[in-house]
Amino acid sequence: MKEETTGKKSRGKKPKPPELKPLPGDQVNFTDEESRIMPVSGGGFEQCYNGQAIVDMDSMLIVGNYVSQKPNDKQEIEPSLEELAKLPKSIGKAGKLAADNGYFSESNVKKITDKGIEAYISSGRQSHNQSLEERFQEEPKAPENPNEVESMRHRMKTEDGKKFYAKRKSTVEPVFGIIKEVIGFRRFMLRGLEAVTGEWNLVCVAFNLKRLCKLVG
């Protein structure tokens, strides 16, 4: 395509078209062929699924959830926005969205902004031990004619932006900790994407019922 457009011959080897049949070295999991090999925290890989949950920061309730076969969270912003769009208008509209750096990409920030939602996604690992200068430095001036990512990075350096993003650690992250350590759900027991999705739905319902009991008192 590039050669046709420019009229110049491309350097290097020409890419091979994809094979239509499985190669001798290709592998499939015979226990659950719909699961995928994914990296896990602490290093290593496992055959698994990627369970996603969208959490309301004020109530700590799960307002959206689904199971993905994608190993990279960068591919999960768009389906998460689709889950948010399914919520009834009567409960309001999301105004801000926070996510860790595993979800960061320029296109993801734009997708969130295009929905009229303020994005707060870390674009790098944050230091847990900031210096006094970093903690008490003045807010930076807003950039001129910024793109979506530049606007987000500036917003996250403001006092309000820091407070909002920090709130994620005490509202969103504990949801997964409670599911694992309190409810005791650490791995899917069923096989196949449809069955695993149903299993994750039940887990999220169980969490919400537990949380509602706490909220109601």
Q: Is the pLDDT of residue 96 over 70?
A: yes
Burial 91-119 (b: 16+ CB within 10 A, else e): eeebeebbbbeebbbeebbbbbbeeebbb
- Dihedral, CA atoms, 140, 142, 144, 148, nearest 10 degrees? 110
∠150-170-86 over CA atoms, to 5°? 70
Q: How confident is the model over 187-200, as pLDDT tens digits?
A: 999 999 999 999 99
- pLDDT band per the 50, 70, 90 thresholds, residue 7: low
pLDDT at site 138: 78
- pLDDT band per the 50, 70, 90 thresholds, residue 53: very high
CATH of region 36-216:
3.30.420
Q: Is the pLDDT of residue 5 over 60?
A: no
Q: How confident is the model over 107-150, as pLDDT tens digits?
A: 999 999 999 999 999 987 655 566 666 666 778 888 899 999 99
Assigned token pair, 193: 């994407």
Helix (H, G, I), strand (E, B) or coil at 8: coil
Q: Where are the domains of the chain?
A: 36-216
Task: Indicate the average pLDDT of the chain.
Answer: 89
For tokens 């190993």, the residue is 71
Decide which of 145 and 23 is more confident: 145
Q: 18 phi and psi, to 5 degrees?
A: -65, 145
Can you list the alpha helix ranges (DSSP code H) found in the chain?
Answer: 2-6, 77-85, 106-114, 132-135, 148-155, 159-171, 173-181, 193-216
Q: Is the pTM of this model over 0.75?
A: yes
Q: Is the pLDDT of residue 151 over 90?
A: yes
Over residues 33-47, the mean pLDDT reads 89
Rounded CA-CA distance 182/46 in Å is 23
Give the least confident one: 15-24, 32-41, 83-92, 162-171.
15-24
